[in-house]
Every structure is written in C-alpha cells, then in structure tokens.
Amino acid sequence: MELYRTSQTTHLPKESAATVRDQLFNLAAKLNISAVLLVNSAGQIIAKHITETWQNDAVSMAVLSANTYAAANEMARIINEDNNFVTVLHEGITTSVLTSAVNSGYFLVVVFPRQTTLGLVRLFTKKTVEQLGRILAGSSGYSRKEQSDLGQEFQNMLSRELDRAFKD
Amino acid sequence: MFINWALNELHLKIVYYGPGLSGKTENLNYIHKRIDPALKSDLMTLKTREDRTIFFDFIQLEVGRINGKKPKFNLYTVPGQVNYDLTRRICLNGVDGIVYVADSQLDRMKANLEALVDLEKNLLAYEKSLETMPWVIQYNKRDLPSAAPVDLMNSKLNIYNVPWFESTAVTGGGVFATLKEVIKETVSRVHQDLTAHEKATA
C-alpha cells in the first residue's frame, strides 16, 4: 500500500488528493479536533486539515512528528517489538497528539483537545487510517506531461529564482 | 522528493551532514537570517544546554512558482557528535540531497573522514549511496589560519568528484552558493529518475 512511487520520488495524483482531504475533513468534523495531518516519513505534509490557528505550525508539527515517530520505532526495535508501534500518544494537560501508522512510510497525526475522548479518537482514527490505506493503494500514476515538467526549462527557471531569492 | 500534483508542490529534503562543530547549524542560522521572511518558516533548533544540536535543526524555504509549480525545500542538520549516530540515521530518512560540511582545520581531517564513512553507512540503511545520490561538499572555516589546502581536502574527501565550495559559514561566505548547487543537483537527478522510470514502464 503505497503512493505511486519511482525509485526516489513519491507522487500524490490529483484524483487521490481530494478523496484524501475528504477523509481528513470527515475525521476532524467527527471529533472536533484542531489539526489532522497525513505525513510521510521524510516529514513532508501529504495532506492536511487544520484550523486557522494551526496555519503556521503545521510544517513544524509534521517534521517533529516524523522524526519522533521514527525515534519511537527505533525504541520498538531495541525492545524486540517486531513491528513498528502502530500508534504513539503524546498526552498533554489540555491538548494531546495521536500518531498512527497508515502504511509503510506514512502516518496520520491527530491533534485533539482534552474534551475529546481518547477512545473515540482512537476509534475514528483507526477507521480513517484503513480508508486512507485503501485510497492510497488504489492511486494511479502521473502523466508524461507531468514528468517532462521538471526538464531543462524548469531547471533554468529554478536556477534564476534561486539566484533571486538566495543572495547575500 | 514528494510531488503533490493537485497543489503543484515539489518538496525536497536536504540534509546538512558532517562532524561535530563543522558549521552545519551555522549554515542554517545564516540562511534564516538572510532569507525574505515570506520565503521561510521559523528556524527549529533542538539543542542541548551547551548549544549543541541534539536531534536536528530544521527550516523550510520556498521560492516563487515556476511553470505553475511551487518548490519547497526542507533543510535539516544532523547532530555531529559521535554518540548520536542513530539520530543521524533517522534524519536521513527520505533525504533527496546532501550538503557535507567539512571542518577545514587540519587536525579535524580524521573527524571529517569518520563522519563521511558514517554518512555512507547510514545511507546504506535506506538503500542509498553517496556514489549515486546528489550531494555537494562544503569546506567550512576557510578563514582559520589552520585551514588545510583545498587540494588536500578534495583528495581526502571528494571521492566522487562532486561539486565543492569554500565557505565561512559564520559570516555567510559560500553558504548560498552551496545551497543553490545542491538544490539544482537534486532537481536534475529527480528529473533523470522520472525520465528513466517513464522509459522503463512505457
């Protein structure tokens, strides 16, 4: 169960993006939660549903979640837990974070307030994870046009943009 | 790299790697200071009390849309101290391009070599290798009187003849040149990868 992948690049096709976002929206609506992120193991946000207060923090959250989750699974390996931890919970006084594996290399990060029952979060997150796994497994590839979009013209323009933006 | 075709976003992960105190964090500090606030996230640093990186530093940069696509660059540094090997390996997960920051001081050559071997070992855990992935070398601390000649540094460290840059990260010299090159190398490699895949599946 993986997003369409070349040897080094992962793609989220257009047709899958909307259904993935719908899943996150439905989960957030059911649980009245602040943020739900679908993140890959490199710490990149695949999809998100967040409230306005989270706009600036989503990137940091994804990066920290990815690396923390990877660290937790190194602990799993040390204690001879053959499979990675299915979920990792960070429990706070007012807000908690539940991280759940979707499939190899992807996981769901759910940020929820104290008022939302952990059991319900686990239950609905589990259902969403199963749905996401099916959606992503059924994703198709990209078109030839999309592949050529990163060719020499793009690279030349990128070079000019980098010179413009990154200067002493 | 992650490509979101719906939003037309390209996400690249660049990792700054090297021995302890070689200047990896200084690179990100300088980049964060100089970049337009509209083009960068906050700089995240996870440090010990002694100001040493304990997990990673992180900043996300972006440039304007190019042919409708928005490239975003996630820059990480790893902790350089020897006992953080596992943490360095975690940070390499999903890496697209590497900046190897070497300490130009002559008495740090052994540390530079050990860190390079360590990098290759950790890449192998992800079935990657310095031989095939995009990376550049930055010879930092060129301002110090004890800096070794660049020819010597290249002969010892630049085993795959990758692009290299002299730098003085504390003042910014060479920092952006290094960053721009690793991004260009990485995008070029991604394009080659996509082209090869297209041919293989045609």
Domain ranges for chain A: 14-141
How many Å lie between the alpha carbon of B60 and the closest alpha carbon of chain A? 8
pLDDT at residue A93, as a whole number: 93
Give the 3-state DSSP-derived string for chain A, with helices as H, strands as E and coil as C: CCCCECCCCEEECHHHHHHHHHHHHHHHHHHCCCEEEEEECCCCEEEEEECHHHCCCHHHHHHHHHHHHHHHHHHHHHCCCCCCCCEEEECCCCEEEEEEEEECCEEEEEEEECCCCHHHHHHHHHHHHHHHHHHHHCCCCCCHHHHHCCCHHHHHHHHHHHHHHCCC
> Quick one: pLDDT band at residue A8, thresholds 50, 70, 90?
low
Torsion of CA A69, A73, A74, A80, to 10 degrees: 170
Q: Which two tokens stand for residue A73?
A: 């699974």
Tokens 């060129």 identify what position?
B142
Q: At what angle do helices A152-165 and B175-201 cross, to 10 degrees?
A: 160
- Quote the CA–CA distance of B98 and B100 in Å, as a whole number: 6
Neighbours of B108 (CB within 10 A): 21
Residues 92-111 of chain A whose Cβ lies under 8 A from any Cβ of chain B: none
What DSSP state is assigned to residue B70?
A: E
Give the containing element (helix H, strand E) for B180.
Answer: helix B175-201
pLDDT at residue A138, as a whole number: 65
Per CB-CB distance under 8 Å, the chain A contacts of B91 are 67
- Quote the CA–CA distance of A107 and A132 in Å, as a whole number: 10
Per CB-CB distance under 8 Å, the chain A contacts of B58 are 43, 60, 63
A63 to chain B: nearest residue by CA? B58
Judged against a pLDDT cut of 70, whether residue A7 lies above it is answered with no
State whether the Cα torsion B148-B149-B153-B155 is positive or negative. negative
Q: Is residue A5 within 8 angstroms of chain B, CB to CB?
A: no
Q: At what angle do helices A14-31 and A118-137 cross, to 10 degrees?
A: 170
Tokens 């006084």 identify what position?
A93
* Contact check, Cβ <8 Å, B1/A71: no
B-interface mutation test, from A2, A57, A142, A150, most B Cβ less than 10 A away: A150
pLDDT at residue A140, as a whole number: 47
Give the containing element (helix H, strand E) for B31.
Answer: helix B24-34
- The candidate with the shortest Cα–Cα distance to A43, out of B57, B112, B171, B84, is B57
3-state secondary structure of B188: helix
pLDDT at residue A2, as a whole number: 34
The structural domains of chain B, ordered by start, are 2-201 (3.40.50.300)
- The pTM (predicted TM-score) of the whole model is 0.89
3-state secondary structure of B66: strand
* Contact check, Cβ <8 Å, B35/A166: yes
Which residues on adjacent β-strands are paired with residue B10? B3, B71
Judged against a pLDDT cut of 50, whether residue A4 lies above it is answered with no
pLDDT (tens digit per residue) in A82-139: 777 889 999 999 999 999 999 777 899 999 988 899 999 999 999 999 999 888 776 5
pLDDT (tens digit per residue) in B140-171: 999 999 999 999 999 999 999 999 999 999 99
Q: What is the ipTM of this complex?
A: 0.88
Q: Are the CB atoms for B11 and B183 separated by under 8 Å?
A: no
Judged against a pLDDT cut of 60, whether residue A10 lies above it is answered with yes
- Low-confidence spans in chain B with pLDDT less than 50: none
Tokens 């759940």 identify what position?
A100
For the domain A14-141, what is the CATH code? Answer: 3.30.450.30
Q: Which of B3, B71, B96 sits opposite A11 (nearest CB)?
A: B3
